């Protein structure tokens, strides 16, 4: 899972089989195409595209796949995609934000609503859980890049707001509008990051036991399996013991 139960923000990304990895590549490619379509096809001149390409590379997306996605934007592909955010509650009252990119709003809304209902959750109105999150930039580095003090100093100099370090690595947070600049400065100081992206960072979390986590995982898995869904964020928290049992 990308993220750790000790980190405030947990993006649900479990280890994937080849088929699931192909689906992930497809979603990252879609983001690249849309980002390039909305701005300049040159990543150096388009901050959103630069971040999309950077995230794709961190997930080992091949260069030819990235190049193809950018070329699609110049062939007028991606015109019909609409970005939509859904909000709701999952099992145990966990707040869930679903970010989608679709060419058919009705289809996506129907599927997302059905997925919430089947998992014992409830899809709400826009804003129903958004107040429990903050839009932030997130840069992740492995633990071996340096000790907590060194990473903290680099983050401060780069203009970041906060750093959370653990045995699993370092998670650096910044204002969403500063992510491009902060990540560039960090890259010069610490090298390539494991991940650089915009996230929804929970301001409050809901702790779940093993049964609650199992139910929530079914919902998150089903949502992420939807081709229209780009990213899912939930404000759950679980003990190390529960995470190990999962």
What CATH code is carried by the domain that includes residue 64?
A: 1.10.10.200
Question: What is the predicted pLDDT for the residue at 78?
Answer: 57
Question: What is the predicted pLDDT for the residue at 17?
Answer: 56
Same domain, 212 and 119: yes
Question: What is the predicted pLDDT for the residue at 77?
Answer: 64
Q: Is 11:195 a contact under the CB 8 Å cutoff? A: no
Q: What is the pTM of this model?
A: 0.82
Question: What is the predicted pLDDT for the residue at 182?
Answer: 94
What CATH code is carried by the domain that includes residue 149?
A: 3.30.70.980
Structure letter (DSSP) for residue 129: T
Last residue of a domain, one of 74, 97, 121: 74
Beta strand 206-207 with 236-237 is: parallel
Same domain, 194 and 219: no
DSSP H stretches of helix in the chain: 18-38, 47-58, 63-74, 105-118, 148-158, 179-190, 210-224, 240-245
Picking from 123, 62, 99, the residue whose alpha carbon sits closest to that of residue 199 is 99
Same domain, 107 and 212: yes
Number of domains the chain contains: 3
Residue 235: inside a domain: yes
Domain span at 86: 82-131+205-245
How far is residue 79's CA from residue 17's CA, in Å, rounded to a whole number?
31
Same domain, 37 and 93: no
Mark the ranges of the chain whose per-residue pLDDT is less than 50. Answer: 1-16
Residue 35: inside a domain: yes
Same domain, 60 and 88: no
Same domain, 138 and 169: yes
Residue 1: inside a domain: no
Same domain, 142 and 180: yes
Question: What is the predicted pLDDT for the residue at 79?
Answer: 61
Same domain, 125 and 219: yes
Residue 4: inside a domain: no
Same domain, 126 and 142: no
Quick one: CA dihedral 41, 45, 47, 50, positive or negative? positive
Same domain, 197 and 217: no
Please give the backbone phi and psi of residue 31, each rounded to the nearest 5 degrees, phi first. -60, -40
Cα dihedral 159, 54, 71, 33, rounded to 10, equals -70
């Amino acid at each position: 899972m990308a993220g750790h139960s000790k980190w405030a923000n947990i993006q649900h990304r479990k280890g994937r089989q080849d088929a699931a990895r192909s689906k992930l590549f497809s979603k990252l490619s879609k983001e690249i195409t849309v980002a390039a379509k909305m701005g300049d096809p040159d990543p150096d001149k388009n901050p959103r595209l630069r971040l999309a390409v950077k995230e794709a590379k961190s997930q080992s997306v091949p260069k030819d796949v990235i190049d193809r996605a950018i070329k699609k934007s110049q062939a007028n592909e991606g015109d019909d995609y609409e970005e939509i955010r859904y909000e709701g509650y999952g099992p145990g009252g966990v707040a869930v934000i679903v970010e989608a990119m679709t060419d058919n709003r009705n289809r996506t809304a129907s599927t997302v609503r059905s997925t919430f209902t089947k998992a014992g959750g409830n899809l709400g109105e826009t804003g129903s859980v958004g107040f429990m999150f903050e839009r932030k930039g997130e840069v992740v580095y492995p633990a071996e890049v340096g000790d907590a003090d060194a990473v903290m100093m680099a983050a401060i100099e780069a203009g970041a707001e906060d750093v959370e370090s653990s045995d699993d690595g370092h998670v650096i947070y910044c204002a969403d509008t500063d992510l491009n600049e902060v990540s560039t400065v960090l890259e010069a100081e610490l090298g390539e990051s494991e991940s650089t992206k915009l996230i929804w960072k929970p301001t409050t979390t809901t702790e779940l036991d093993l049964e609650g986590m199992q139910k929530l995982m079914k919902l998150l898995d089903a949502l992420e399996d939807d081709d229209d869904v780009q990213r899912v964020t939930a404000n759950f928290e679980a003990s190390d013991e529960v995470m190990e049992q999962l």
